[in-house]
């Protein structure tokens, strides 16, 4: 596996988004199967794993702790704070009060079975807490040896700059893919200016950019995409135009649609590390192989020209979820 740099973190060129192991895309994996899967990812060269206390909640960190503890010195683990979780496990907004950040850090360290969190993201901007207080708290945790690097997720330009002035932001994580390119106009120029790494989540469009989801595909009853406007039947049909573009490039590269979608992200900047998520070993192998695909200037130009004529249909979040996207 090729490697890339995210600030001072050396990681595999493709990471693994672990949320789907525990929630959102149907039934959670059984713990034993999840541990086996995560260790297989390490064996294949994946060294960058993305989790959060909110995934599960809590269970995702626990399974990563069990799976990765024996190889802790070989992997980089990113986790997150800042989502309010009630006693029933429900998620009801943001909470980045300094005391809460500290409590989350201590609990995450225990669940992950580690002495230090490699990358600690604020999961979402908390409008009730100044970003300077958030950055200052993480700065203290870094000084105490409990955290190595500070990250932000789905933050806008102003908050990135204000946080970075207090504690250097190592990584920004935001959604970015062939069907969500808003970061190109907003945050990517700023993170390049400041030397911040960038981690695209949902690089395969929550599965749509694999080309396997059609208007007739029936998702699991527990799959959150059932509530996402971009995944209603009419939107799926309209957005197939994106798949047709990628499929044409894929055919010429002896690659899959998913591999071209990942390779496109890797071709944008050398400090971009996508984290496609999967629970299937053959899909993991498929994603890893994307790191070997080279898209030349002609390929990228063809994709750009074709996509410029396509309007993606449907919002990326349901209205109640989008309130957490504070820019």
Question: How confident is the model over 161-176, as pLDDT tens digits?
Answer: 999 999 999 999 999 9
CA dist 316 and 172 (Å) reads: 19
What integer pLDDT is reported at residue 319 of this predicted model? 81
Confidence band for 92, pLDDT divided at 50, 70 and 90: confident
Q: How many helices and strands (H and E) does the chain possess?
A: 12, 11
Confidence band for 326, pLDDT divided at 50, 70 and 90: very low
Tell whether 97 is covered by a domain.
yes
Tell whether 216 is covered by a domain.
no
* Domain count within the chain: 1
What integer pLDDT is reported at residue 123 of this predicted model? 98
Tell whether 113 is covered by a domain.
yes
The 10 Å CB-count burial string (b at 16+, else e) for 181-203 is eebeeebbebbeeeebbbbbbbb
Confidence band for 19, pLDDT divided at 50, 70 and 90: very high
> Which of 188, 114, 184, 189 lies closest to 148, judged by CA?
114
Tell whether 280 is covered by a domain.
yes
Tell whether 171 is covered by a domain.
yes
What integer pLDDT is reported at residue 322 of this predicted model? 57
Q: What is the pLDDT of residues 221-238, one digit of tens each?
A: 999 999 999 999 999 999
What integer pLDDT is reported at residue 283 of this predicted model? 98
| pLDDT averaged over every residue in the chain | 96
CA dist 97 and 187 (Å) reads: 25
Tell whether 327 is covered by a domain.
no
Tell whether 106 is covered by a domain.
yes
Asked if 55 is an active-site residue, the reply is yes
In the chain, % of residues over pLDDT 70: 98
Q: What is the pLDDT of residues 187-206, one digit of tens each?
A: 999 999 999 999 999 999 99
Over residues 73-92, the mean pLDDT reads 95
What integer pLDDT is reported at residue 321 of this predicted model? 66
CA dist 167 and 169 (Å) reads: 6
In the chain, % of residues over pLDDT 90: 96
Residue 105 belongs to domain spanning: 3-205+269-293
Over residues 60-89, the mean pLDDT reads 97
CA dist 212 and 173 (Å) reads: 26
What integer pLDDT is reported at residue 327 of this predicted model? 42
Say whether pLDDT at 81 is over 90: yes
Q: Which of 55, 58, 176, 317 is catalytic?
A: 55
CA dist 11 and 4 (Å) reads: 6
Q: What is the pLDDT of residues 122-144, one digit of tens each?
A: 999 999 999 999 999 999 999 99
Q: What is the pLDDT of residues 25-53, one digit of tens each?
A: 999 999 999 999 999 999 999 999 999 99
Q: What is the pLDDT of residues 142-153, one digit of tens each?
A: 999 999 999 999
**Residue 155 is part of a domain; what is its CATH number?**
3.20.20.100
Tell whether 215 is covered by a domain.
no
Indicate whether this model's pTM tops 0.95: yes
Task: Judge whether 126 and 134 are in contact, CB under 8 Å.
Answer: yes
């Amino acid at each position: 596996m090729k490697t890339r740099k995210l600030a001072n973190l050396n990681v595999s060129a493709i990471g693994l988004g672990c949320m789907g192991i525990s929630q959102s895309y149907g039934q959670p994996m059984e713990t034993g199967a999840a541990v086996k899967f995560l260790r297989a990812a390490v064996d294949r060269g994946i060294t960058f794993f993305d989790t959060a206390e909110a995934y599960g909640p809590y269970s995702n960190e626990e399974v990563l702790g069990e799976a990765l503890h024996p190889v802790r010195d070989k992997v980089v683990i990113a986790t997150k704070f800042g989502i309010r979780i009630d006693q029933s496990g429900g998620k009801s907004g943001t909470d980045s009060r300094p005391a809460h950040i500290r409590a989350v850090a201590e609990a995450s360290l225990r669940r992950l079975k580690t002495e230090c969190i490699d990358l600690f993201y604020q999961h979402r901007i908390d409008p009730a807490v100044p970003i300077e207080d958030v950055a200052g708290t993480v700065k203290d945790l870094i000084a105490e040896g409990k955290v190595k690097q500070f990250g932000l997720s789905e933050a806008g330009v102003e908050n990135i700059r204000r946080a970075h002035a207090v504690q250097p932001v190592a990584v920004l994580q935001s959604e970015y893919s062939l069907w969500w390119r808003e970061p190109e106009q907003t945050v990517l120029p700023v993170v390049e200016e400041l030397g911040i790494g960038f981690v695209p989540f949902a690089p395969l469009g929550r599965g749509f950019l694999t080309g396997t989801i059609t208007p007739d595909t029936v998702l699991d009853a527990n799959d959150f995409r059932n509530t996402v406007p971009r995944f209603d039947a009419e939107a799926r049909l309209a957005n197939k135009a994106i798949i047709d573009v990628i499929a044409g490039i894929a055919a010429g590269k002896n690659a899959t649609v998913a591999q071209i979608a990942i390779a496109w992200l890797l071709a944008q900047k050398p400090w971009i590390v996508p984290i496609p998520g999967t629970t299937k070993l053959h899909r993991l192998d498929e994603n890893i192989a994307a790191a070997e695909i080279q898209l030349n200037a002609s390929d990228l130009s063809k994709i750009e020209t074709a996509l410029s004529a396509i309007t993606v249909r449907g919002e990326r979040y349901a209205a109640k979820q989008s309130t957490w996207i504070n820019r």
